[in-house]
Amino acid sequence: MRGLLASAGNGIDQMTQKNARKVAARARQTRFGGKYLAHHRQAGEAAADQPPVVEAVIEARVLDEPAYPDGDFADRVRTEPVEVAEMCRWFFCRFEDPAHGVPHDSGEGGYQYVLGGPYDADDELRGAFPDTEDEHLERAVDLIQNYGWEWVEIGLY
């Protein structure tokens, strides 16, 4: 995000904590394909000492094909009940490991989720598939959590 703001050429070299929280909250509200302008100013609020408007479009993506963590996962999920396979497919079309782009700072406690996340597989699957049997849901969560406990939306970082 810092690079995106700096590349806007508006003299703003980093996002403030307050703005980072706003962006993260808005990104959570516009999940799965939503867009949000990261920094804006109300009409009539402009002043000479204020920085100009910076527009950064944050957009999550939903893939047509799942981005499984490895080739073995696709083979393993084929042997599962259809409901489990479909939940895994749905999840990996929308979420990825934070290592694929989330800023990491060991001094600040690890990954810096300024645009939203981390997401939990159990919470996301229960929300998306509320009528699924617990046995199938728990199996899908187990398969997914073999590869990680924290996830981010594809395309936000």
**Could you state, in order of their start, the residue ranges of all structural domains in the chain?**
1-59, 71-153
Q: Specify whether the CB–CB gap between 60 and 154 falls below 8 A.
A: yes
- The pLDDT-based confidence of 9 (bands split at 50, 70, 90) is very low
**pTM above threshold 0.85:** no
Q: Is the pLDDT of residue 157 over 70?
A: yes
- The stretch 11-27 carries a mean pLDDT of 46
Share of the chain above pLDDT 70, in %: 62
- The CA distances from residue 103 to 28, 53, 100, 110, in Å, are 17, 24, 9, 8
First to last CA, the chain: 8
What pLDDT does 63 receive? 86
What pLDDT does 93 receive? 95
Closest residue by Cα to residue 41 from 12, 61, 64:
12
Radius of gyration of the chain (CA): 18
What pLDDT does 136 receive? 97
What pLDDT does 28 receive? 46
Closest residue by Cα to residue 121 from 153, 77, 75, 79:
153
Q: Which of 19-28, 48-57, 92-101 has the highest mean pLDDT?
A: 92-101
Q: Specify whether the CB–CB gap between 67 and 96 falls below 8 A.
A: yes
The pLDDT tens digits of the residues spanning 26-78 come to: 544 444 333 333 333 344 444 555 555 555 555 677 888 888 888 899 899 99
